[in-house]
A and B are shown apart, each in its own frame.
Chain A
Amino acid sequence: MTPRPVHAGAPVLVAVLLIASCSPDGDPGDPEEAPETVEDTDEVDPTDEDAEETDVEETDDEGRPTDDPEDEAATADGATVTLLTHDSFDVSEDVLDLFTESTGHAVDVVPLGDAGTALNQTILTGDAPQGDLLFGVDNTFLSRAIDEGIFTTHESPLLDEVAEGFVLDDQHRVTPVDRGDVCLNYDVAYFEEAGLDVPEELTDLTEPEYEGLLTVTNPATSSPGLAFLLATVETFGEDGYLDFWERLQANDVLVTDGWSEAYYDEFSGAGDGDRPLVVSYASSPPAEVIFAEEEPEAAPTGVIEASCFRQIEFVGVLAGAEHPDEAGELIDFMLSEPFQEDIPLTMFVFPVNENAELPEVFEEHAVLPDDPLDIDFELIGEHREDWIEAWTAVVLR
């Protein structure tokens, strides 16, 4: 009597559940998986077959001529290294191919969200992480990563080539990869047209002529926002930074939640906004030149050097890694010149290897202060939440 309209579909789901529950642990080197994998290379139907295999093989169809047989063969002298990272990571395919060619290891890049999300996910999955190494922890969150013990040591021989001051952990649980200082950017045209001096010091921002001109991002949700908050802590001291923010608040500072809203919706130098001052990066001006529709002679935006806060990004081998040695090799590669020279134009930050040459557009349009504001990472770790909480109480509530 009973109509059973969709029962026919039930086996599909049961199958999905079964496949799910029989899924192997993600090691593409598992020989049992090989035949299935080969068939699946071009298959993207996610309900169809074992997922891990499909997407590991899909990584790139051009750059790396790795079909599964090679991957499987790679178990003899190489493996697939899984690199966990935040969303802003990138690398040229032909550069990454150099690593695969020289070591035989394939690389699977897994972006996990913003920097905070990527780190917290990795901490919470500590005993069975999703990959072998994590890139993208910066000095503002480094202490958390180290305290939680997610990294194991790897001392790269290439550290000799890294400029002094970037190696923060002498046990080498993390290795510096790039620096991308956070600085206030200004709209060059606006200040010219208004006949207004570009502010030189942070205190200038509280002057009446700069009322309503600045957009910052929320340090509780945005990594440049946190860096700028730290810049004010370093400049005005723990006793003075909240006063500064109160005065900034009185001078109509605008807070947005994330960088892209601030930069594209509120900043007049790059997007549709009407505020000529914004929290962004030292590398944003060259990016404006590269991504302009027609290359301008001078960058449309500039950097206020006195506002720059040092941000160093690190990579580390995860304590629960399946391929710790191969992960170490990848770290060495990330410090080598080919990777380091690729960094500016893919991630828009600066290399840490002293031998790496900067692309012309960076030489010409980027400002990299020699001595940016900086706070010891352990001190940041001790006070980060308190500073953010106090800031929130003053500025947002």
Chain B
Amino acid sequence: MNAARTRSRRGTTAALLTVPAAFLAVFFLYPVATIVVTGLAPEGHPELGVLGRVVTDPSVREVAWFTLWQALLSTAATLAVGLPGAYVLSRIDFRGRRLLQAGVTIPFVLPTVVVGSAFLALLGPRSPVNAALSALLGEAAPTLDLRRTVTAILVAHVFFNYAVVVRTVGGLWSLIDPRVEDAARVLGASRWRTFREVTLPLLRPAIASAAAIVFLFTFTSFGVILLLGGPGRATIEVEIHRATTQLLDLPLASTLALLQLVAVVASLLVYGRLQRRTTTQPLVGSATTLRAPRSRGERWFLRANLVLVAALLLAPLLVLVERSLSTGAGYALTNYRNLFSAERATVLAVPAGEAVRNSLVFGVAATAVAFVVGGLAATAATVSRGRAADLVDRALMVPLGTSAVTVGFGFLIALRHPPLDLRGSVLLVPVAQALIATPFVVRTLLPVLRSIDERLREAAAVLGATPARIWREVDLPIVGRAALVAAGFSFAIAVGEFGATVFLARANLPTMPTAIFRLLGRPGAANFGEAMAMSTLLMLVTAAAIVAIDRLRIGQVGRF
């Protein structure tokens, strides 16, 4: 490779990185730095005494330790449950596969307060499990009560993040040429050995990505901890929230935010090491990797996974649907009718249709922003493999592990003076959502982009194809699938994001989660029923959007 070409690569990388770097600087670094500085230097000069005071406080250390171990445990549990699911959904063809693939994403978008409430019903003394136990064993049956336990937290974290593993890992798994595995089997390797020595190394970048994302999400867990762990347990996120929104103790909040940041950066460094050894591999269109279950063992494996999905993911969702349909006198559509009736003419009442529309519009806008930012970053990282691209790539992950309160308050404090006066701007909502969605776009696209054999592109170039044509005919067919996965996921994240959005959403542009919260904030059976109906609607809208996106065809996917 000659020097001129290296130089032009550097130029391209720099150009590609401008937008992601600017996005991150303006909408993440600047707001977060502003609030941290406000907290640590209230009078303009730093008062760092608070740092030492907070870090040596035993209760803070306890919180930090709990945050770390529950996140590690949650990540391990999610991988253990999610990897088999990723295999089943990306490699085995069965009826209802597409629907299920969209369905597993639903938990991801639901507000924790709603799901938490469903989990309380399922894990409490009056759960179906206990009903079954007492029917079987009579009086002697033990009563399982998992409310306010770490187990409840873990189960809920797996519920919420299952889709991360299935979609991130499954996206790559569906493109790995099964003939590679077949070859190993023909050569006498056992199924397990084939998986360990052939499949696993190929999947490694995707698994590392999924693990990193799940870790960051559970590390900053908030609603699940409060609802299911009980008020006695707290993560750093919970403490930041309390210090900022209740105590107005900004020095404490800023110190905790820094602590969180240090932990997140450290975990990203570890992740970078895992990510480094990626291999170029033969990828194929996903249609060729799908096949019906071949053996009895495989059919049982499929069934076991479906049962698990039903128990873990479907049951809580069904509780919500059941609640949305139940009225004082049996099941009816009363809650839905009330939701759509135009009777309540108050300023903050949320017409259901409007909430759905707002959520969709914000979701599309955030997806677009995430795609531009994430797409450029992923491309830059593929082209250069240099330090700058890696840095931006990692930096884009940091918002996932940053407190939503820090970001939300940071936006409000930092972005209110010209030239960046965004007070009351609707822009803030999709931007905050895109901050969370962008890493998914990068994580989904990058492994696929990186594994495209450079020789394919070179061959096409030698044969006279223009760069545009190379992109259309070499990259797009392979990346198209991953791009759709990324789009569906970003959309889901945007629709469900409720951390920073809650501080930024406007009264007159309520989203579905906002509407659910407003309804849940008032007494009365009808309000609760309508909140459940709105949650069900949120599930349906998400599922429909993801099914629709999954059905799109980009390029010639599948006819490779």
Seen from chain A, the residues whose Cβ lies within 8 Å of a Cβ on chain B are: 1-7, 9-10, 12-14, 16-17, 19-26, 44-47, 51-52, 54-55, 58-60, 62-63, 82, 87-94, 96, 108-114, 116-117, 119-121, 123-125, 128, 130, 144, 218, 220-221, 255-261, 263-265, 270-272, 274, 280-281, 283-284, 287-288, 290-294, 346, 348, 385, 396-397
A69 CB, nearest partner CB in chain B, Å: 19
Q: Which of B38, B419, B461, B470 contacts A124 (CB 8 A)?
A: B38
A280:B424 contact, CB within 8 angstroms: no
Which residue, A111, A274, A281, has most C-beta atoms of chain B within 10 A? A111
B110-149 CB mask vs A (1 if < 8 Å, else 0) is 0001001100110001100000000000000000000000
Tell yes or no: B299 within 8 A of A by CB: no
Q: Which of A16, A121, A257, A287 contacts B231 (CB 8 A)?
A: A257
B412:A291 contact, CB within 8 angstroms: no
B221 CB, nearest partner CB in chain A, Å: 13
Given the known A-B contacts A4-B467, A96-B347, A257-B231, are A288 and B523 also in contact in the complex, defined by CB atoms under 8 Å?
yes
B375:A2 contact, CB within 8 angstroms: no
B520 to chain A: closest residue by CB: A260
Q: Which of B231, B430, B467, B528 contacts A2 (CB 8 A)?
A: B467
Given the known A-B contacts A260-B521, A294-B328, are A90 and B347 also in contact in the complex, defined by CB atoms under 8 Å?
yes
A378 CB, nearest partner CB in chain B, Å: 17
B506:A55 contact, CB within 8 angstroms: yes
A112 to chain B: closest residue by CB: B503
Tell yes or no: B427 within 8 A of A by CB: yes
Task: Show 29 residue pairs from A and B whose CB-CB distance is below 8 angstroms, ordered by the A residue.
Answer: A1-B5, A4-B467, A9-B371, A13-B369, A26-B424, A44-B358, A44-B361, A46-B426, A51-B427, A52-B424, A82-B424, A109-B507, A120-B245, A120-B248, A130-B412, A130-B424, A220-B247, A221-B231, A257-B231, A260-B521, A270-B523, A272-B121, A274-B125, A283-B523, A288-B524, A290-B524, A291-B525, A292-B524, A396-B232
A20:B409 contact, CB within 8 angstroms: no
Tell yes or no: B300 within 8 A of A by CB: no
B424:A46 contact, CB within 8 angstroms: no
A397 to chain B: closest residue by CB: B232
Q: Which of B245, B425, B522 contacts A52 (CB 8 A)?
A: B425
* Chain A binder among B16-24, B44-52, B310-318: B16-24
Contact residues in B for A45 (Cβ distance below 8 Å): 361, 365
Contact residues in B for A90 (Cβ distance below 8 Å): 346-349
A131 to chain B: closest residue by CB: B424
B231 to chain A: closest residue by CB: A218
Residues of B440-461 whose CB lies within 8 A of A: 457, 461
A293:B329 contact, CB within 8 angstroms: yes
B509 to chain A: closest residue by CB: A55
Contact residues in A for B116 (Cβ distance below 8 Å): 261
A44:B509 contact, CB within 8 angstroms: yes
A12 CB, nearest partner CB in chain B, Å: 6
A3:B467 contact, CB within 8 angstroms: yes
Given the known A-B contacts A23-B421, A47-B365, are A87 and B246 also in contact in the complex, defined by CB atoms under 8 Å?
no
B245 to chain A: closest residue by CB: A117
B345:A270 contact, CB within 8 angstroms: no
A385:B247 contact, CB within 8 angstroms: yes
B527:A12 contact, CB within 8 angstroms: no
Contact residues in A for B517 (Cβ distance below 8 Å): 87
B117:A261 contact, CB within 8 angstroms: yes
Given the known A-B contacts A13-B372, A93-B346, A288-B523, are A47 and B430 also in contact in the complex, defined by CB atoms under 8 Å?
yes
Given the known A-B contacts A10-B372, A82-B424, are A130 and B117 also in contact in the complex, defined by CB atoms under 8 Å?
no
Contact residues in B for A113 (Cβ distance below 8 Å): 245, 502-503
B415 to chain A: closest residue by CB: A20
Contact residues in B for A283 (Cβ distance below 8 Å): 523
Q: Which of B250, B423, B470, B526 contacts A291 (CB 8 A)?
A: B526
A288:B427 contact, CB within 8 angstroms: no
Residues of B507-560 whose CB lies within 8 A of A: 507-509, 517-518, 520-528
* Chain A binder among B190-198, B262-270, B471-479: B471-479
B117:A292 contact, CB within 8 angstroms: no
Contact residues in B for A60 (Cβ distance below 8 Å): 347, 508
A126 CB, nearest partner CB in chain B, Å: 10
User: Within the assembled complex, what's the spacing in Å between the Cα atoms of A123 and B457?
Assistant: 57
Given the known A-B contacts A23-B422, A113-B502, A264-B520, are A63 and B412 also in contact in the complex, defined by CB atoms under 8 Å?
no
B420 to chain A: closest residue by CB: A21
Given the known A-B contacts A52-B424, A124-B38, are A287 and B457 also in contact in the complex, defined by CB atoms under 8 Å?
no
Given the known A-B contacts A90-B347, A94-B345, A261-B117, are A3 and B509 also in contact in the complex, defined by CB atoms under 8 Å?
no
A110 CB, nearest partner CB in chain B, Å: 6
User: Within the assembled complex, what's the spacing in Å between the Cα atoms of A258 and B19?
Assistant: 41
User: Within the assembled complex, what's the spacing in Å between the Cα atoms of A20 and B121?
Assistant: 45
User: Within the assembled complex, what's the spacing in Å between the Cα atoms of A357 and B71?
Assistant: 54
Contact residues in B for A290 (Cβ distance below 8 Å): 524
Q: Which of B9, B12, B19, B475 contacts A5 (CB 8 A)?
A: B475
B524 CB, nearest partner CB in chain A, Å: 3
B525 CB, nearest partner CB in chain A, Å: 6
B347:A109 contact, CB within 8 angstroms: yes
Given the known A-B contacts A13-B373, A130-B424, A293-B328, are A256 and B231 also in contact in the complex, defined by CB atoms under 8 Å?
yes
Contact residues in B for A22 (Cβ distance below 8 Å): 419
Contact residues in B for A346 (Cβ distance below 8 Å): 346
User: Within the assembled complex, what's the spacing in Å between the Cα atoms of A128 and B327?
Assistant: 47
Contact residues in A for B12 (Cβ distance below 8 Å): 2, 4
User: Within the assembled complex, what's the spacing in Å between the Cα atoms of A81 and B208?
Assistant: 51
A144:B525 contact, CB within 8 angstroms: no
B372:A6 contact, CB within 8 angstroms: yes
Q: Which of A4, A13, A124, A272 contacts B412 (CB 8 A)?
A: A124
B208 CB, nearest partner CB in chain A, Å: 23
B423:A128 contact, CB within 8 angstroms: yes
B5 CB, nearest partner CB in chain A, Å: 8
A182 CB, nearest partner CB in chain B, Å: 13
A9:B372 contact, CB within 8 angstroms: yes
User: Within the assembled complex, what's the spacing in Å between the Cα atoms of A258 and B245?
Assistant: 14
B503:A6 contact, CB within 8 angstroms: no
A261 to chain B: closest residue by CB: B227
B456 CB, nearest partner CB in chain A, Å: 11
A3:B471 contact, CB within 8 angstroms: yes
User: Within the assembled complex, what's the spacing in Å between the Cα atoms of A348 and B518?
Assistant: 13
Q: Which of B113, B368, B522 contacts A348 (CB 8 A)?
A: B522
Other 6 A-B pairs with CB < 8 A, given A10-B372, A110-B507, A291-B524: A6-B371, A23-B422, A26-B421, A87-B521, A90-B349, A108-B424
B248:A123 contact, CB within 8 angstroms: yes
Tell yes or no: B394 within 8 A of A by CB: no
Which residue, A116, A128, A271, A293, has most C-beta atoms of chain B within 10 A? A293
Contact residues in B for A385 (Cβ distance below 8 Å): 247
B485 CB, nearest partner CB in chain A, Å: 15
A293:B348 contact, CB within 8 angstroms: no
Closest CB pairs A-B (n = 10): A291-B524, A6-B375, A51-B425, A3-B471, A291-B526, A9-B372, A287-B523, A51-B426, A257-B226, A117-B245
Contact residues in A for B373 (Cβ distance below 8 Å): 13
A111:B507 contact, CB within 8 angstroms: yes
A42 CB, nearest partner CB in chain B, Å: 11
Q: Which of A7, A109, A112, A280 contacts B376 (CB 8 A)?
A: A7
Tell yes or no: B201 within 8 A of A by CB: no
A270:B525 contact, CB within 8 angstroms: yes
B328:A46 contact, CB within 8 angstroms: no
A9:B420 contact, CB within 8 angstroms: no
A265:B523 contact, CB within 8 angstroms: no
B508:A59 contact, CB within 8 angstroms: yes
User: Within the assembled complex, what's the spacing in Å between the Cα atoms of A397 and B470?
Assistant: 63
B523:A281 contact, CB within 8 angstroms: yes
User: Within the assembled complex, what's the spacing in Å between the Cα atoms of A146 and B486?
Assistant: 48
Contact residues in A for B418 (Cβ distance below 8 Å): 25
Contact residues in B for A255 (Cβ distance below 8 Å): 230-232
Contact residues in B for A265 (Cβ distance below 8 Å): 117, 120-121
Contact residues in B for A3 (Cβ distance below 8 Å): 379, 457, 467, 470-471, 474-475
B508 CB, nearest partner CB in chain A, Å: 5
User: Within the assembled complex, what's the spacing in Å between the Cα atoms of A90 and B246?
Assistant: 22
